[in-house]
Amino acid sequence: MKSATHDASARQHSRGPSPVAGHGGNRNERARKPVLSEIEDEIAGLLDRSTPELRLAWRQLHRAGPPLGLSRGLLIRALANQLQERSYGGVSRALRRRLQSLAGASENATMAVDPGLSLKAGTTLVRQWRGQTHTVLVHNDGFEHEGQRYRSLTAIAERITEAHWSGPRFFGLTKRARALAGAKAGR
């Protein structure tokens, strides 16, 4: 039987801590620490800059002046975000496209559902209410119920129940509604 050795090579193979400062441990963490402190220092330095200096930094970054009325606090947050994106990477192209599509739908007042929901055109939603079955057809630009078009599920739910209801919840499209339906089915 071999005796335990306490040399660096034994620790290196056992993934134990190395007696040499700066060696061993998590390589990714070790590589990130200097970058993290540099970014933290740059962000902390933003607080010490004057507002004209912050505006100049914005101009250098965006090749245009900051929006009118942008407060100093928002200017600092936006610059800090840009520093972090430069170091760690920004949002993916897919997320950027999704956000632009949601923003466009919101501006055009065509957004009919919660952004968390993805209902494809042609989907049929069915809900029983007081003994009557209600069917809703999903379109690209809204919903159809009993031959009438609606912009939101909430409008349909309110028409059916004659009371204020969240449309996605009424049709069981939220986590809470699904949990309640599961609890009732288990009784």
Looking only at Cα atoms, what is the longest distance across the chain? Answer: 85
H/E segment holding residue 72? helix 72-88
pLDDT value at residue 13: 40
The predicted pLDDT at position 8 comes to 39
| Cα 40 from Cα 21, distance rounded (Å) | 23
Q: How far apart are CA 161 and CA 130, in angstroms?
A: 9
Q: What is the pLDDT of residue 5?
A: 44
DSSP conformation class of 116 = T
Alpha-carbon distance of 34 to 22, in angstroms, equals 12
- pLDDT for 169 equals 86
- Altogether, the residues listed in the chain come to a count of 187
Tens of pLDDT, residue by residue over 113-162, are: 455 667 888 999 999 999 999 999 999 888 999 999 998 899 999 999 99
CA torsion angle 39 44 47 48 (round to 10)? -110
Kindly report the pTM of this predicted structure: 0.38
Q: Provide the pLDDT for residue 108.
A: 59
pLDDT of amino acid 31: 47
The confidence score (pLDDT) of residue 6 equals 43
Cα-only R_g, the chain: 28
What number of other Cβ atoms are within 10 A of residue 70's Cβ? 15
The residues of the chain scoring below 70 in pLDDT are: 1-36, 105-117, 175-187
* 104 within 8 A of 111, measured Cβ to Cβ: no
pLDDT score of 55: 92
